[in-house]
Chain A
């Protein structure tokens, strides 16, 4: 089966514009995660979903960032009024949630966002 897919692969936008980033998780994976990777940095957690609900939004850096997930599948990360510091690679991951043991997170290829 297909892995996690993300679109677009690259996005260039002007400061102040809104952008939407999309993540398609692996079919059947109920947990979905968003991370941000700034240039030369490690990954920073943003938000995760279990089904359509988001138990942990603690990583969203400001109220300009929001995310939703519908139908327990596709998720959209929206950044309003983009700023240059939002430039980064946005990575999505998904995992099964089965039992109480570890479930591997599988990552997508990311969306590189550049804010001019």
Chain B
């Protein structure tokens, strides 16, 4: 069975600063996807960034980037130039490498961006 762990229940960062959210996972699969989702108070789950396990290059999306360490089963999210709108719950998640399957979520990290 796959598991996803996020060891930081809450974090805060000053506006315009950089913050890193941690995630580790456990799987015996070799082909899989990893995700970071954002859930603001509106409850709408938004995909922030995706990483394919077979790709060595770390994914980036504007101010968001990941540090994917496959051997260590680590998948951290770095948010640069933090903005007030980044305040949300962030979930690390895993999915087997198929075209469709359930997503397994970590418990989440509540991020607050302080003005």
Contact = CB atoms under 8 A, between A and B. Distances in A.
Contacts of A56: 101-102
A97 interface: yes
B103 A45 contact: yes
B42 interface: yes
Contacts of B103: 33, 35, 43, 45, 93, 105
Contact of A102 (B33, B42, B102, B105): B33
A81 B35 CA distance: 35
A95 B101 CA distance: 10
B102 A107 contact: no
Interface of B: 4, 33, 42-47, 50, 52, 91, 95, 97-108
Interface of A: 31, 33, 35, 41-45, 48, 50, 56, 59, 89, 91, 93, 95, 97-105, 107, 109-110, 112
